[in-house]
Structure 1
Amino acid sequence: MHSHTFKSVFLIAVVFLTQFSFAQAYKDQFAHTFSIVAKDINTGEMAVGVQSHWFNVGSIVAWGKSGVGVVATQSFVNPAYGPNGLKLMQSGTSAKDALQTLVKQDEGRDFRQVAMLDVNGNVDAFTGANCVTSAYHIIGDNFSVQANMMLNDAVVPAMERAFKTHSNLPLAERIVKVLQAAQAAGGDIRGRQSAALIVVGPKLAAHAWQDKLVNLNVEDSAEPLVELERLLKVHNAYNFMNEGDLAVEHGDMEKAMNAYGTAQRMFPENLEMKYWTAIAMANSGQLDDALPVFKSIFEKDNNWRTMTERLPKSGLLTVSKSELDRILKL
């Protein structure tokens, strides 16, 4: 075999073996990104916030369970850090010990970046030696900020400053500010595509569907943080609607109307919020005040008039026949 032929075969073999080894060890999804895990010391809530130039980053990076803790697993993602970390923390293992245990077991540790925080506020993070520059983390009291494949080294310090600066905000809004600061400092060198935010409570949830207090996921967007912030406002508005509904059930119409009003100010273009407010008013004997609201809704979308005809049968509208006619004739 000629020397140049041998060298060619040798190089091909090296490339093949290198790619094979890499594919075997690091076949998990990419999620080069910036993220934060944090706890609100006043409410006990815990959160994960993340943005990346990767589709649907929240589905693999952000993990959390009420009464237990939160996990962010990124870079060449090993999703097992999420459920396994939560399982260890729920068994009583601290975030630091849980992370150290899982990192030790992970043959691909040099390519991982992970942060964990438990319900007691213990927090730890790990950045593997082979994470793409700029890559590192900062651990603080009740939080950790971490990033890899960033445009510059200013991103992580900007996140730390933002978390400390916005301590007056509710945790979810505070997390959004941290993500915005990261993007403003340079963000992911590739740009941006998706973002996610989860918030869990300080105590174990009675039911699985009550576990996430906030669970927002922007899968694909030119401006994922703009969309994430919008979704959080919508989420909060619907929470006020739910608060209003509960107040109606308890006969406290003043509290209900205050909650409904707050919701509508937060999301003024939403006809449904206005509609159910009008229904609550009509059911509580405030039909004259409700009629102008119904009229403005029907003028924008007549389907709500049809809906109103159907509600008495379901018991959701309890007005008399004559009162119903007044509404429908608007």
Structure 2
Amino acid sequence: MTFSVIARDATTGDLGIAVSSCILAVGRAVPTVRPGVGVIAVQARSRRGLGTALLAGLAEGRSPQELVRHASHAAEDVDRQIAVLDATGQVAADTGRGSLPASGHLLGEGFSVQGNMLASPDVLPAMSAAYAAAGGSLADRLLAALTAGQDAGGDLRGRQSAALQVVTGHPATADDDGVRVDLRVDDSGDPVAQLRMLRNLQRAYDERDYETLAVFAPEGARDLYAALAASRRGDRAAARTALEAVRTRPGWSTWLASMAGDARLSAVSQLLD
């Protein structure tokens, strides 16, 4: 009913998972993730608490191989499918004999792809090859694998939801929760495509791509990003027009005044002073 990829970025140490399924809100059901500890995928008819138990095992220092081996011998878990990745990149997976066909998993260096009730036997090889060949950040490589899986057929029943999570390879602290990406599409006719759109939007926020945000940010904020974009490219007239539009909205003048010390806004707001 689900296909997913879990992986560790050997350069940054980041850990992540991308998953899609024809169920509502797969991001609630399949991933269990903790910065500095690992990533778990629990699929098919796995017990709901299995991901939490496996993650606790990683936190205690048990290896993915040991945890998967123990789970595979549990009589109540014959219908489950699991994949376990620790913070060092060790990975193990198992597909229970009762899992829905077509099912399976493939292991690679620091990653694993797994799925059940797949539309085609090509889904998992396509995902594995796409992840291994992809460049860019871990989030982008995970999305490349998920996209390849969907293009190869994905879930036999259709499409509904998808999720993408990336965390740091070191534990969370009071100053950094360790979460780098946490995006979910809970109900969509094309959730993987929607997830890619969300990832691109997050990238625009992270990289301060004001030109993109001026088009795709929520409508109420687009004029602000248009002003920032125009200011960055030196178009004073466009920046002034956009900022005047912002100030016509109730409450925004007060907010702009409170942001006077923000380097991104100070140069723009001076256009109206």
**Shared fold per TM-score greater than 0.5:** yes
Q: Which residue of 2 aligns with 1:27?
A: none
CA deviations on 1:144-191 (whole Å, 9 max, x unpaired) are: 10010011211111111111111x221101111111111111111101
Could you tell me how far apart the structure 2 residues matched to 1:40 and 1:211 are?
14
- 2:25 is the alignment partner of 1:64: no
- Is this contact kept in 2: 1:60–1:77, CA < 8 A? no
Q: Which amino acid aligns with 1:119?
A: A
- Is this contact kept in 1: 2:72–2:78, CA < 8 A? no
Q: Which amino acid aligns with 2:242?
A: S
Q: Which residue of 1 aligns with 2:265?
A: none
Return the offset for 1:111. Answer: 0.5
Could you tell me how far apart the structure 2 residues matched to 1:150 and 1:45 are?
28
Flag the 1:82–1:308 CA change in 2: closer, same or farther, 3 A. same
Match 1:150 to one of 104, 109, 118: 118
The number of residue pairs the alignment matches comes to: 264
- 2:65 is the alignment partner of 1:84: no
Q: Which residue of 1 aligns with 2:260?
A: 317
Return the offset for 1:279. Answer: 7.5
With structure 2 as the length reference, what TM-score do the two structures score? 0.86
Q: Which amino acid aligns with 1:221?
A: S
Could you tell me how far apart the structure 2 residues matched to 1:81 and 1:92 are?
17
- Is this contact kept in 2: 1:71–1:81, CA < 8 A? no
- Is this contact kept in 1: 2:36–2:169, CA < 8 A? yes
- Is this contact kept in 2: 1:264–1:273, CA < 8 A? no
Q: Which residue of 2 aligns with 1:176?
A: 143
- 2:45 is the alignment partner of 1:95: no
With structure 1 as the length reference, what TM-score do the two structures score? 0.72
Q: Which runs of 5+ in 1 are unaligned?
A: 1-31, 241-259
- 2:79 is the alignment partner of 1:111: yes
Q: Which residue of 2 aligns with 1:14?
A: none
Flag the 1:35–1:280 CA change in 2: closer, same or farther, 3 A. closer
Q: State the percentage of identical aligned residues.
A: 30
- 2:246 is the alignment partner of 1:327: no
Q: Which residue of 1 aligns with 2:155?
A: 188
Q: Which runs of 5+ in 2 are unaligned?
A: 263-267
- Is this contact kept in 1: 2:214–2:225, CA < 8 A? no
Q: Which has the larger radius of gyration?
A: 1
Return the offset for 1:88. Answer: 1.2
Structure with bigger helix share is: 1
Q: Which residue of 2 aligns with 1:123?
A: 91
- 2:201 is the alignment partner of 1:234: yes
Flag the 1:92–1:176 CA change in 2: closer, same or farther, 3 A. same
Q: Which residue of 1 aligns with 2:224?
A: 275
Could you tell me how far apart the structure 2 residues matched to 1:56 and 1:67 are?
25
Q: Which residue of 2 aligns with 1:211?
A: 178
Could you tell me how far apart the structure 1 residues matched to 2:123 and 2:201 are?
28
- 2:241 is the alignment partner of 1:295: yes
For 1:210, what is the secondary structure of its paired residue? coil
Return the offset for 1:292. Answer: 3.4
CA deviations on 1:14-54 (whole Å, 9 max, x unpaired) are: xxxxxxxxxxxxxxxxxx20001111111111111100000
Q: Which structure has more RCO (C-alpha within 8 Å, separation ≥ 6)?
A: 2
Q: Which amino acid aligns with 1:141?
A: E
Could you tell me how far apart the structure 1 residues matched to 2:54 and 2:175 are?
18
Flag the 1:311–1:34 CA change in 2: closer, same or farther, 3 A. same
- Is this contact kept in 2: 1:275–1:294, CA < 8 A? no
Return the offset for 1:77. Answer: 3.0
Flag the 1:69–1:324 CA change in 2: closer, same or farther, 3 A. closer
Flag the 1:207–1:101 CA change in 2: closer, same or farther, 3 A. farther
- Is this contact kept in 2: 1:291–1:327, CA < 8 A? no
